[in-house]
Structure 1
């Protein structure tokens, strides 16, 4: 219970920071009219949205509460709907940074607000197609087997998608998605690295973009690992007892499911010189107001 309390408090803290950053990205016109900030808002919104059902599932598991299959399916699908949003948005953000460095004169015409909005719409459409496929698979499985109205175990992705067909689909889907996104990020990194050797290139700006793309690749690897969360737990469950599985599940839940979704605020909120002052002001304005009262009083 103490470990569970630590996890819940950590998730709430990250959730608060993400919400403040989301508010920050809508507080000034420059954030609403720049393509990279619009893409960052989409990435952060998807990561923050996923934390809510994840937290509910974890609390239900901590108290060993059994819920109906349909309620469990709704919560799990809410988690799954944003799984592909982050890697796909990272790919678009990497391409945007590549165009900004390698083709600066064409950046304003390629990444307009209209084209950025269309890219975000395509990312969400791809994610909803993934959900529709899973729903059809669930309907097919439920028509083949008889189930009680309530689940026998706590609600989780592993408990809902238990049939072998889901494991096969997960492997094909995750492999295709992350190979495609990985190639986009690596290609953008190589392109920027080649341009950075040019004498006419702003070395400091190119170096910063290279660091950002490298962080994108690390974040993608963490998200890929989180997509393999179910496979890791299933393999471990075959060799150890239930209590050990629950403890490993807690640790993996934090470092594979929660932490990768909280890196956006840390990577962009603290590194970006445009966002950081506004974010720190929004995070600390209440504290400053209480510690440093108005001198005019």
Structure 2
């Protein structure tokens, strides 16, 4: 009988390991696809001078760069957690802080991009004066400084708290931001800061959408351009909503673990990670990469094999 119980226990552990590896592999596939597309779009934005000198594409590059770094860091943290791999303290701290930094840059950059579309549609004559290379650089610098300041404040709260924190070389638990920021004050700051950022971003996008929609109804404007800008702002708002929900990813999984079986929690964790953490960081590729008439031909050319694309383009030109 003891031998039978041992075999059943071993079989349960083996099944659990198989299940973990299955969901980890299912998550790796979409991650690799999204990373490849984002990387190709980043390369596309640096391959032509028109992209390097246009303000909206400079902002897009900053957004895509932050999203791509976030994808890499958060995916590594997710895979390490699923596979129960324990990291050294300094490696975990670097990945966690990098992921948190990039997660704040995205909504702030989306806010700046929404304002740029608002100015382009509502004030077309002043767009070249307001949106310049210098103002774009200042906006990107402010985005990075604001994001870095939030990380610095979190670290200072942790260091100034009376809570004992282990700085052992090898961590005793799975690496996550919850493993670092256990201080209640840090949790309150994170909640307040996230609320302020997403509320400000949401209000800005909504006001920009309303302004663009009102201008689109005017007879003296380019209705097609205004309609496309309003659709872009709606997609930005949807993207912001998904990113906001993704900030509560760990809370959702913790709450689900109290009422669901472990196998269902594992499935929910994998699905929520893909749709709430990964998908919002890849919508920019769809919003600008596939919908933008200027980027799309170059993006498709770089996504495909060079010889296939050249053959396709030659055939299309011959048909014309």
The normalised TM-score by structure 2 is 0.86
In the alignment, the residues of structure 2 paired with residue 209 and residue 30 of structure 1 have an alpha-carbon distance, to the nearest angstrom, of 20
Q: 1:247 is matched with which residue? A: 267
Q: 2:216 is matched with which residue? A: 196
Unaligned runs of 5+ in 1: none
2:161 is equivalent to residue 145 of structure 1: no
Q: What SS does the aligned partner of 1:154 have? A: coil
The normalised TM-score by structure 1 is 0.92
- The alpha carbon displacement at 1:263 in A equals 1.0
8 Å CA contact 1:72, 1:160 repeated in 2: no
User: Greater Rg, structure 1 or structure 2?
Assistant: 2
Cα 1:174–1:202, aligned 2, differ >3 Å: closer, same or farther? same
The number of residues matched between the two structures is 292
In the alignment, the residues of structure 2 paired with residue 125 and residue 57 of structure 1 have an alpha-carbon distance, to the nearest angstrom, of 24
- The alpha carbon displacement at 1:255 in A equals 1.2
In the alignment, the residues of structure 2 paired with residue 28 and residue 291 of structure 1 have an alpha-carbon distance, to the nearest angstrom, of 21
In the alignment, the residues of structure 1 paired with residue 158 and residue 260 of structure 2 have an alpha-carbon distance, to the nearest angstrom, of 29
Cα 1:59–1:121, aligned 2, differ >3 Å: closer, same or farther? same
- The alpha carbon displacement at 1:256 in A equals 1.1
- The alpha carbon displacement at 1:148 in A equals 7.0
Q: 1:103 is matched with which residue? A: 123
Aligned runs of 1:38-53 on 2, under 5 Å?
38-53=58-73
Pairwise CA RMSD: 2.0
Deviates further, 77-86 or 150-159: 150-159
- The alpha carbon displacement at 1:262 in A equals 1.1
Question: 1:127-149, CA deviations, whole angstroms, 9 ceiling, x for partnerless residues?
Answer: 000110111123234x5225372
- The alpha carbon displacement at 1:251 in A equals 1.9
Q: 2:40 is matched with which residue? A: 20
Cα 1:146–1:83, aligned 2, differ >3 Å: closer, same or farther? closer
- The alpha carbon displacement at 1:240 in A equals 4.2
Q: What SS does the aligned partner of 2:282 have? A: helix
- The alpha carbon displacement at 1:124 in A equals 0.4
In the alignment, the residues of structure 1 paired with residue 303 and residue 46 of structure 2 have an alpha-carbon distance, to the nearest angstrom, of 15
Deviates further, 118-127 or 61-70: 61-70
In the alignment, the residues of structure 2 paired with residue 82 and residue 4 of structure 1 have an alpha-carbon distance, to the nearest angstrom, of 23
In the alignment, the residues of structure 2 paired with residue 250 and residue 10 of structure 1 have an alpha-carbon distance, to the nearest angstrom, of 11
